[in-house]
Amino acid sequence: MNAPLPQIVAVGRALPPHFADQETLIAAFAEHWQRHHFNLERLADLHRATRVGGRHLALPVGEYAALDSFAKSNAAFQRVGAELGEAAVADGLRRAGLKPGDVDHLFFVTVTGVSTPSLDARLVNRLGLPTRVKRTPIFGLGCMAGAAGVARASDVLRAFPGEVAVMLSVELCSLTLQRQDASVANIIATGLFGDGAAAAVLIGGERPARRAPRVLATRSVFYPDTEWVMGWEVVDSGFKVVLSAQVPQVVEEHVGADVDAFLSEHGLSRARIQHWIAHTGGPRVLDAFRAALDLPREAIARSFRSLQAVGNLSSASVLFVLGDLLDSGEAREGDLGLLAAMGPGFSSELVLLAW
Which residues partner with 215 through β-bridges?
Answer: 353
Residue 280 near residue 286, CB atoms below 8 Å:
yes
Among candidate residues 8, 9, 143, 288, the one labeled active-site is 143
Rounded Cα distance between 121 and 125, Å, is 7
Active site residue 143: yes
Rounded Cα distance between 87 and 322, Å, is 18
Helix-, strand-, coil-residue percentages of the chain, each rounded to 5: 45, 25, 30
Rounded Cα distance between 244 and 236, Å, is 22
Backbone angles phi and psi of 150, in degrees to 5: -60, -40
Cα separations (Å) of 273 from 219, 317, 324, 333, 341? 16, 20, 17, 13, 16
Rounded Cα distance between 141 and 148, Å, is 8
Rounded Cα distance between 173 and 184, Å, is 17
> 303-330: b or e for each residue (b if 16 or more CB lie within 10 Å)?
bbebbbbbbbbbbbbbbbbbbbbbeeee
Rounded Cα distance between 232 and 241, Å, is 5
Rounded Cα distance between 260 and 255, Å, is 8
Residue 149 near residue 202, CB atoms below 8 Å:
no
Backbone angles phi and psi of 9, in degrees to 5: -95, -15
Q: What residues are annotated to the active site?
A: 143
